[in-house]
Structure 1
Amino acid sequence: MTNDTQKLQHLMQRVNISSFKALSRDAAVSERQILRLRQGKLEQMRVDVLLKLSQVFKISLSELLETFSALPISPSSDFSLTSEKEIAELKTEYQRSLRQLEQQREILKQEFQQSSLQLLESLLLQWPTAAQKATENPQLAAIKIVPLVQKPLERLLQDWGIEAIAPVGAEIPYNPQMHQLIEGTAQPGETVKVRYTGYLQGDKLLYRAKVSPV
């Protein structure tokens, strides 16, 4: 274990960071950059990376540089990374980048909402009218209203790559990883009936199907 690795681990312990991977995540820097610091290659690291690390460790940039630099750092040092002006400019740039990121998130959010609204357009336009007619005429067959909800929902799920585990009413072998019993007991492989469907998105389980014994 190198001396710089020990120094880094000491700083990590002070802020309860258990691994280099966790440090990479918390500081939003690559593990390669952290490896450079462990290897004593401070001069090869960008100032913005060092600033992010200092913020995670809750120390000043100067303290971080002094900890890992092979040379003593003083106010009169010619080491450009310690320039107060450069640090101030970097902080300004960092704040500007945060604002840009927030703006990008808002744009992505609006684009997501717009695409979702397009998929649900027929439901948004027709459902209020259908609901009003159902209120005015309780005898109106529900089967006539179901497609207004079902088709837009199926289109939305298909566009997002989401699939139902099994249709409601289906009788299938019980799988505790995919199914949740809402009553009774069942052993894996025993037949159960789907009461509420569950969903998968690719290989990811979103919701387990709720089932009951047959």
Structure 2
Amino acid sequence: MKNYASVLKSFMDKRSISNLKELSQKAGVSELQIIRLQRGLASRMPVDILLKISQALGITLTELLTNFAPELTQRLPETSTSALEQKYNNIQKELEQQKKFLMQEFQQSSLGILESWLQQWPTVVEKAKQNPSLAAVKILPLLRPVEKLMAEWNVESIATVGAEVPFDPQLHELMDGSVQKGEMVKIRYTGYKQGDKLLFRAKVSPIR
């Protein structure tokens, strides 16, 4: 088994990469993959991994294979590795554009639901500062867009504040005291779940 540690180090030094861990983070691959490259196993590694490492080192896929898998490049024309690298880069760009588009769509949809709240909430906050005696119940209707957004995302509360329920450590977080599973507790701060997924537990206190 060949050892390309010195070759790898020379490329890393040119990019001011101090160790294998830093290179793995920069490339977005596991440190094990870097070690495999270092030990001369490049010909057995997935192409997308090799491409990520080559990009982190600032070299082309052809250069990487020439230095770490010369036996492979002797059997492959340079045009094939260059074309493969270009195809991979094009796919990456398309995925990034698609991700950006989906994020924009998500944000626009969410902002559309929150539009009335975004417009009115700053005014309410300012009025509350000017008039500390303003009844909180009067501003509750302004939270409806937030509630609507939570409903759109299938987010629902575990229980209402003040409710008395049997203690379930899977759903409840005890704020003080101690209770056994099944004993009654009072909901102090509600928790939330999204479908079958628990987002965070409700905070509860024992009923004394």
TM-score normalised by structure 2 residue count = 0.67
How far apart are residue 176 of structure 1 and its match?
A: 0.2
**Identical counterparts, % of pairs:** 48
1:1-214 alignment, distance < 5 Å: 15=32, 50-52=46-48, 54=50, 60=65, 75=74, 77=75, 82-149=76-143, 151-214=144-207
For 1:162 and 1:65, how far apart are their aligned partners in 2? 55
How far off is 1:135 after superposition? Answer: 1.8
| Partner-residue secondary structure (3-state), 2:188 | strand
Residues 134-179 of structure 1: CA distance to partner in whole angstroms, max 9, x if unpaired? Answer: 2222222111012212x11210111001110001111110000010
Tell me if the contact between 1:181 and 1:211 (Cα under 8 Å) persists in the aligned partners. Answer: yes
Label 1:138 to 1:92 Cα distance change in 2 as closer, same or farther (>3 A): same
Partner of 1:206, secondary structure, is strand
Aligned residues between the structures: 160
Unaligned runs of 5+ in 1: 1-13, 18-36, 38-48, 67-72
Q: What is the DSSP-based 3-state SS (H/G/I as helix, E as strand, rest coil) of the residue aligned with 2:205?
A: strand
- Quote the offset at 1:64 in angstroms: 7.3
> Equivalents in 1 of 2:90, 2:111: separation in Å?
32
Letter in 1 for 2:83: E
1:64–1:172 Cα change, 3 Å? farther
Q: In the TM superposition, what is the alpha-carbon distance from 1:180 to its structure 2 partner?
A: 0.4
Q: Which amino acid aligns with 2:205?
A: S
AA of the residue aligned to 1:15: L
Offset of residue 53 of structure 1: 5.3
How far residue 102 of structure 1 moved from its aligned partner, in angstroms, is 1.2
- Shift of residue 65, structure 1, vs aligned partner: 11
Give distance in 1, aligned partners of 2:161 and 2:83.
60
List alignment gaps of at least 5 residues for structure 2: 1-30, 35-43, 55-63
Pairwise CA distance, 1:109: 1.1
Change (3 A) 1:182 1:64: farther
2:183 partner amino acid: E
Provide the rounded CA distance (Å) in 2 between the counterparts of 1:141 and 1:101: 50
Does structure 2 retain, via aligned residues, the 8 Å contact 1:50–1:61? no
Taking the aligned partners of 1:199 and 1:172, their CA distance within structure 2 comes to 15
State the 1:110 CA deviation: 1.1
Equivalent AA in structure 1 for residue 32 of structure 2: V
User: Quick one: distance in 2 between partners of 1:161 and 1:206?
Assistant: 12
Q: CA RMSD in A?
A: 2.9
Using structure 1 for the length normalisation, give the TM-score.
Answer: 0.65
Q: Within 2, Cα distance between the matches of 1:130 and 1:57?
A: 53
